[in-house]
Chain A
Amino acid sequence: MGDRSVLVELGDEISPEVNRRVRELSVILMENPIEGVIETVPAYRSLLIVYDPLTLEIATLQHRIEDIQKKIGGIQIPEPKTMEIPVVYGGEYGPDMEWVARYHNIRVEEVIQLHTGTTYQVYMIGFMPGFPYMGELPEGLATPRRETPRTVIPQGSVAIAQRQTGIYPVQSPGGWQILGRTPLKLFNPLHSPPTLLEMGDLVKFFSIGEKEFKQWQQ
């Protein structure tokens, strides 16, 4: 892309397998940094490598990437971590819960069962600092975005759209359907790393009550 980045594509679909290959390339590049590379942005099916064209030539970079790509699958990389995330579902914390339940013609309890019953893979962090795009949501919960996006979504809101689920790390506008809220902080600019979740992590949600939510916040 342009004169200072290379977009490495590792597939053309959203799937856990393609995303794992992205993570492998990303981890290998983190552990064996190439001088002149400024930034790597792993996503669903691609890895963006931003470099300084004054110190690194594109041909050199491309050779290095090709060499590394040959190693994918053959190198042991650390296992992703698994996180369990508490969520208070519905009510004022999940203003779209009733709508989502009606849309699928199921009860609220069943929405919660479906959402907590799956282990999700963090495909990428993007849109804003700390926002995890996770999948796959069970087929029975696949829901379109809201027709009118909200201008204010509270920090920690757990939301769904199509076959994905995500968490808003800070208050922001957004169009996803909000099912609940987590008391956990997903982004802290003063921590290292600054985000609770990283690309490749595995996530499982569990349901908590309002009282626990408030205790957790303290």
Chain B
Amino acid sequence: MAAVETIEVLTPGPLTTLQDLGRFGYGRYGVPPSGALDTFSLRAANLLVGNKENEACLEITMFGLRIKALRDVVIAVTGGDLLPFYNDKPLSMWASFILKEGDTLSFRGVKGGCRSYLAIGGGFFLTEVMGSRSTNLSSGFGGLDGRPVKKGDIFTAHSPHLHLETEGRGFPQDLIPRYSREWHLRVIFGPQDDQFTEKAKTTFCNSPYQVNPQSDRTGIRMAGPIIERKPKVQESIISEGVIPGAIQVPGDGQPIIILVEIVTGGYRKIATVITADLPLLGQIKPGDMVTFEEVSLDDAYEALREMEEKIKGFKEKISTSA
């Protein structure tokens, strides 16, 4: 069956891109994962409208996106609270909702977090590139040929009407993350933590770092007390593979949390954010304060299992109520 038109973009906002759970297996070619920064919110949004967890969503940065429904479609908005309105009424987040043909949906400001995820029942009909629909902006491929969403874009989906029956689904209130402007991130030290001074490690774990405006999907840049290398340790290392969440410290001693648009790096990494806390990285915005806490591998896996239980529990709830 042919794909049918679902929504039209009226205004794109400063940066709205198509992302799914990312592109994996091409790191050896220098291809980064891309994908949603807040994967927890993307998965929840998709489940709310009856999609597969890894379907593409619109990742809306800060504000400004306005869309119009071209037919009745079911949608869900999760992640940061960017004040979503349908027509002129506030929209409930973390719940599925039917936009009627002609209805508009707009994101009017930043109340909490940094990025919203908009899922459409039936998804986005787009060609996969290297197994993913995620947008790679710097090399220009994936999503909409590697570009952000622009005015006049019209999206299509297969059988969006089959998803309308999910209307009214809500993500359990107690599982919805709350975002403040102070973030507490759990980390595992390494792989080059031994090349920083003991004092540097204490500084790193006991000081707040403020997020710079120069942050983007490549990395969260921060300013705060200097993290010192041991004497005679050079600024850069021989380049090696990196993962999202790795915290590199360039010569100026100011940490950068690597995000999803690079796959190699040439600076020392003092620590890495645990997998369970990665979704939070997508909600951190300039001006926010970040603190780090060292945890054990066991703690990290326990936290990851807890997060997966939340998703799994919701999936079970949906399948029994259907």
Q: Does B138 contact A (CB under 8 A)?
A: yes
Out of A45, A53, A199, which one reaches B238, CB within 8 Å? A45
CA distance A130 to B191 in the complex (A): 26
Q: Is the interface of A mostly helix, strand, loop or mixed?
A: loop
Contacts of B1-47 to chain A: CB distance below 8 A: 24-33
Q: Does B263 contact A (CB under 8 A)?
A: yes
Contact B275 A44 (CB under 8 A): no
Contact A43 B188 (CB under 8 A): no
Q: Does B245 contact A (CB under 8 A)?
A: yes
CA distance A170 to B191 in the complex (A): 31
Chain B residues contacting A28 (CB-CB under 8 Å) are none
CA distance A128 to B31 in the complex (A): 7
CA distance A44 to B266 in the complex (A): 11
Contact A7 B240 (CB under 8 A): yes
Chain A residues contacting B140 (CB-CB under 8 Å) are 170
Chain A 7-48, CB-CB to B under 8 Å as 1, else 0, gives 100001110000000000010000000000011111111111
Contacts of B162-214 to chain A: CB distance below 8 A: 187-188, 190-191
Q: Does A3 contact B (CB under 8 A)?
A: yes
B61: min CB distance to chain A, Å = 21
Chain A residues contacting B246 (CB-CB under 8 Å) are 1-2
> What size tier do the contact residues of chain A reach?
35 or more
Out of A5, A38, A172, A194, which one reaches B130, CB within 8 Å? A194
State how many residues of chain B have any CB contact under 8 Å with chain A. 44
Contact A3 B297 (CB under 8 A): yes
Q: Does B220 contact A (CB under 8 A)?
A: no
CA distance A184 to B150 in the complex (A): 31
Q: Does B264 contact A (CB under 8 A)?
A: yes
B-contacting 9-mer, from A83-91, A100-108, A185-193, A204-212: A185-193
Chain A residues contacting B242 (CB-CB under 8 Å) are 1, 48
Contact B240 A2 (CB under 8 A): no
A-contacting 9-mer, from B106-114, B151-159, B300-308, B313-321: B300-308
Out of B27, B139, B191, B264, which one reaches A50, CB within 8 Å? B27
CA distance A43 to B201 in the complex (A): 27
CA distance A170 to B301 in the complex (A): 39
Q: Does A58 contact B (CB under 8 A)?
A: yes
B-contacting 9-mer, from A61-69, A119-127, A146-154: A119-127
A50 to B, closest residue via Cβ: B243
Say whether, besides A3-B300, A58-B297, A190 and B28 are in contact (CB < 8 Å): no
Contact A1 B269 (CB under 8 A): yes
Most buried by A among B32, B263, B269: B263
Contact A128 B30 (CB under 8 A): yes
Contact B243 A4 (CB under 8 A): yes
A42 to B, closest residue via Cβ: B28
Say whether, besides A1-B269, A53-B275, A125-B29, A7 and B301 are in contact (CB < 8 Å): no
Chain B residues contacting A193 (CB-CB under 8 Å) are 29
Out of B25, B139, B190, B305, which one reaches A189, CB within 8 Å? B139
23 contacts between A and B (CB under 8 A): A2-B273, A2-B275, A3-B272, A4-B275, A7-B241, A26-B28, A40-B27, A41-B28, A41-B240, A48-B242, A50-B24, A58-B297, A124-B239, A125-B30, A126-B239, A126-B264, A128-B138, A133-B239, A189-B31, A189-B129, A193-B29, A194-B31, A194-B130
What is the interface of chain B, defined by CB distance below 8 A to chain A? 24-33, 129-130, 136, 138-142, 187-188, 190-191, 238-243, 245-246, 262-264, 269, 272-275, 297, 300-301, 304-305, 308
